[in-house]
Homo-oligomer: A and B are copies of this chain.
Amino acid sequence: MQSNRIRHSAFQQKVTSAEEAVKAIGPGDTVAVSGFASAGTPKAVIPALADRIHSARAAGANFTIDLLTGASVSTETEKMLAEIDGIALRMPYQAESTARQKINQGRMDYVDIHLSHVAQQVWEGYYGVVNVAVVEVSGITETGELIPSASVGNNKTWLDVAEKVILEVNSWVPDAMDGIHDIYYGTALPPHRRPIELTDVEDRIGQPHYRVDPAKVVAVVETNAPDSASALTAPDAVSEAIAAHVLDFFDHEVRRGRLPENTLLPLQAGVGNVANAVLGGLDRGPYRGLTCYSEVIQDGMLHLIKHGTVRFASATALALSEAGIEELTSNIDFYRQHIRLRPQEISNHPEVVRRLGIIAMNGMLEADVYGNVNSTHVMGTKIMNGIGGSGDFARNGYLSMFLSPSTAKNGAISSIVPMTPHVDHTEHDTQVLVTEQGLADLRGLSPRRRARVIIERCAHPEFRPLLTDYVERATATPGAGQTPHLLGEAFSFHQRYIESGSMRLQDGPAR
């Protein structure tokens, strides 16, 4: 297979098989891989690497790698490497069940950091030398520049810092995607950093292609393989109710003069049902010409763009279903005018997020009655996915909202608890909490006032009496303090769940 996508002879000469390419990767190497959400993960080299590790193991050798990525990579890829215990250290994000299990068993080291910090920390040398980068592109130009595929993530950084580079050229990515990317080459290490001159979601501040030193490229592998499809489930009644509260709140803020009418401010929404429901709701609202500045573009965004509800969407990756991929590729000339894919250090950059005035809407596992949010650790100990970019947006955005159903596991778990046993977003960063029960606007409220509003507006009615009782008894304690707690009972909800499988009092042993 030789496509017409490799238009530079220095790279043509390096075309080889994935099996040959992975010989460049050795035991103990730090390997930086393309991929963000379901898009842009290498399709051929990772399976070949998994084979290589597997064979080496069978021959008695010790072979693991440290794996750096954009965020999650395709489920198959994550699983493939986790199943063979091929990863010693994983950074910065995962969302796959086998990897999760290995991490929680202490068999894989996992470093869970803000996505905007990844590139700079690697540049700063916190992860040592990056031995090999494996990056999917959609083509190589006559001048030797690389045309990105369906995600950007940290690819620009991987190509810059790695000692050796393996390229996958995937001819499945439509030619017409070329031009949708904006690769910024203005970053630097301090004291040489300059302002990032991005003042509108639509701004182009970089170039369409990556650069790479051809001397570092040790192999080029050709593929023609689709991206994994992102699962898409229709919004349920709970998600729709959450979305309705969010949309009411936007209307309210517009009326109060705190948000621009018609266009609001650039929206960031996490991945999943609730985010999809909010975006879907916008399509039925009074807003036109909205902008989005987020990490991924899901199917719903394509509809919003088509209807003119959204004028422009900036992200670092696509995360589309099969139908969404088909919609995009069939109408790529249209969508290319309304979508920009950027490096994740720009999509999540605190400077840009603060300047643009992002409305940040992220999911959570649970919040406590004072507004501290746990996004990552089930029952305080078991990692779910990771913090991802939620902190980048929540801390620096104009409005910081966290959204969740009020219960999980058929009502056995309350998303509002006395104290979260892990904190990813502190009380200082949480301005609005939303469940299907209602919306708690915490701005300007002291902790004791927050507790009342959160319990009343967001907690499921079944858990309200328990939460109110906790707060009232904590507040009645002599010397209760600014943020009343009963340390011996702060995790009673969680302990009840661990012991009985439910946070509900009647389901579990009395405490």
A residues in contact (CB < 8 Å) with B: 89, 91, 103-104, 106, 109-114, 120-121, 124-127, 189-191, 193-197, 199-200, 256-258, 260, 263, 265-266, 349-351, 354-357, 372, 377-383, 387, 391, 395-396, 398, 419, 421-428, 443-446, 448-449, 474-475, 479-485, 487-488, 490-491, 494-495, 498
Contact among B113, B127, B357, B381 with A482 in the assembled complex (CB-CB below 8 Å):
B381
With A126-B444, A354-B350, A428-B112 already in contact, the answer to whether A491 and B487 are too (CB < 8 A) is yes
Q: How far is the CA of A492 from the CA of B106 in the complex (A)?
A: 25
Contact among B189, B449, B485 with A381 in the assembled complex (CB-CB below 8 Å):
B485
22 A-B residue pairings within 8 Å (CB atoms): A89-B446, A111-B444, A111-B445, A112-B482, A114-B428, A126-B444, A189-B357, A190-B356, A191-B357, A193-B355, A193-B356, A350-B354, A380-B483, A381-B480, A381-B482, A383-B482, A391-B428, A421-B487, A422-B483, A425-B426, A487-B498, A488-B491
Q: How far is the CA of A124 from the CA of B265 in the complex (A)?
A: 13
Q: Which residues of B contact A426 (CB under 8 A)?
A: 387, 391, 423-426
Q: Shortest beta-carbon distance, A370 to chain B, in Å?
A: 9
Q: How far is the CA of A257 from the CA of B123 in the complex (A)?
A: 11
Q: Which residue of B lies closest to A358 (CB)?
A: B190
| A interface majority secondary structure | loop
Contact among B111, B194, B263 with A446 in the assembled complex (CB-CB below 8 Å):
B111
Q: Which residues of B contact A424 (CB under 8 A)?
A: 426, 428
Q: How far is the CA of A121 from the CA of B441 in the complex (A)?
A: 14
- A495-B488 in contact (CB<8A): yes
Q: How far is the CA of A494 from the CA of B486 in the complex (A)?
A: 11
- A380-B485 in contact (CB<8A): yes
- A395-B395 in contact (CB<8A): yes
With A104-B480, A127-B444, A194-B199 already in contact, the answer to whether A113 and B487 are too (CB < 8 A) is no
Q: How far is the CA of A377 from the CA of B485 in the complex (A)?
A: 11
Q: Which residues of B contact A491 (CB under 8 A)?
A: 487-488, 490
Q: Which residues of B contact A498 (CB under 8 A)?
A: 487
Q: Which 3 A-B pairs have the closest CB atoms?
A: A190-B357, A381-B481, A423-B423
Q: Which residues of B contact A487 (CB under 8 A)?
A: 379-380, 421, 491, 494-495, 498
